Amino acid sequence: MFRNREIRRLAVVFAVITAAFAAAGFVVQPAAGLLILGSAAAFGTAFGVFTKARYKSIARLSEQIDLVLHNADHLFLGETSEGELSILQSEITKMTLRIREQNDALKKEKEHLAESMTDIAHQLRTPLTSVNLILSLLENHPDETERKAMIRETKELFVQMDWLLTSLLKLSRLDAGIAVFQREKIDVRSLISSALHPFLLSMELHNIALQTDVPEGILIWGDFSWLSEAVQNILKNCMESAGDGGRIVIACEENPLFTEIVIRDSGAGFAKEDVPHLFDRFYRGKDAGAAGYGIGLALCKTIIARQGGTITAKNHPQGGAVFAIRFSK
């Protein structure tokens, strides 16, 4: 207790005042001096007992905080009836629980990062293994036609790896909060036209019928480039699902509550067990032969969600998959 400089100063001041008043009391009347000394002793004793009890409470609280800091399983701080100490204890408890939540979140994030790195390594290893195999065959293959086919396949694998790395880079930028979204009015018809443009030739080659029903003048707020990227990922998924001779339908409608963009394909739809996980990162479906890397739809959802929208996917009653993007008014 007396290690506290303020307590020592208070004791010295109290002793000086007591001595001064006691001396004055003895000058007036000895009984008055004795009364002053007795009162001072009583007040000093009471103050000492009260202060010592408070210091014991603070010491107990300090020990409990030390347990919290050095023992991951200890989160209990004993109750105290002291007014100021009770408030302090309450705030420390809140801070402790908050720190625990942050530590748990960081732990989960580290585990997720480790799993993601494993998934990324696996995703890249598959095409790289194929490239290495093709190059080894290409080196000694005598047939010129076969050699050209292998070269085309190698180029396609490099294109896939480039898309994967680009998508992963975009996801990492979004996760880190580095990507900055513009807030501007977007004409939905222009957005759909921009997203479709890279796929028009491929649709024609694969005889995929395209039907659009997007009225003029429908506007949403967001970043044109990023939303176009999101829609392209959905279209890529629909094209792969529809296959040669398939069909894709794009429609848009609005009401007083929201604007909705619906994209539907004529493919086989989703397996029932896959539907809840379609937008999970690196999820490729229960089918071991499922195409893709499990990146496109995850990136799509992240882009749309960061701009205040929602995206859902389900099977259409008449067959095929349906993606619905909504932006509230």
CATH for the 184-328 domain, from 3.30.1390.10, 3.50.50.60, 3.30.565.10, 3.40.50.2300: 3.30.565.10
Residue count of the chain: 329
pLDDT of residue 309: 94
Closest Cα partner for 240 from 311, 286, 305, 289?
Answer: 289
Choose from 61-75, 101-115, 192-206 the range with maximum mean pLDDT.
Answer: 192-206
Question: CA 277 to CA 283: how far, in whole Å?
Answer: 7
246/19: higher pLDDT: 246
Q: What is the pTM of this model?
A: 0.60
Question: CA 166 to CA 157: how far, in whole Å?
Answer: 14
pLDDT 10s digits, 224-281: 999 999 999 999 999 988 989 999 999 999 999 999 999 999 988 888 888 888 888 7
Question: CA 17 to CA 36: how far, in whole Å?
Answer: 10
pLDDT of residue 221: 93
pLDDT of residue 150: 81
Question: CA 240 to CA 270: how far, in whole Å?
Answer: 13
Please give the backbone phi and psi of residue 260, each rounded to the nearest 5 degrees, phi first: -125, 130
Are 191 and 224 a contacting pair, CB within 8 Å? yes
Residue 95: which pLDDT band, with cuts at 50, 70 and 90? Answer: confident
Q: Give the residue extent of every domain in the chain.
A: 5-74, 118-176, 184-328
**Mean pLDDT calculated for residue range 119-140:** 75
Mean pLDDT of all residues belonging to the chain: 82
pLDDT of residue 208: 94
Are 218 and 188 a contacting pair, CB within 8 Å? yes
pLDDT of residue 79: 56
Question: Count of H helices and E strands in the chain?
Answer: 8, 7
pLDDT of residue 5: 75
**How many alpha carbons lie under 13 Å from residue 170 in its C-beta half-sphere?**
22
**Mean pLDDT calculated for residue range 170-184:** 81
Question: CA 61 to CA 80: how far, in whole Å?
Answer: 9
Provide, rounded to the nearest whole percent, the portion of the chain with pLDDT above 70.
Answer: 88
pLDDT of residue 290: 47
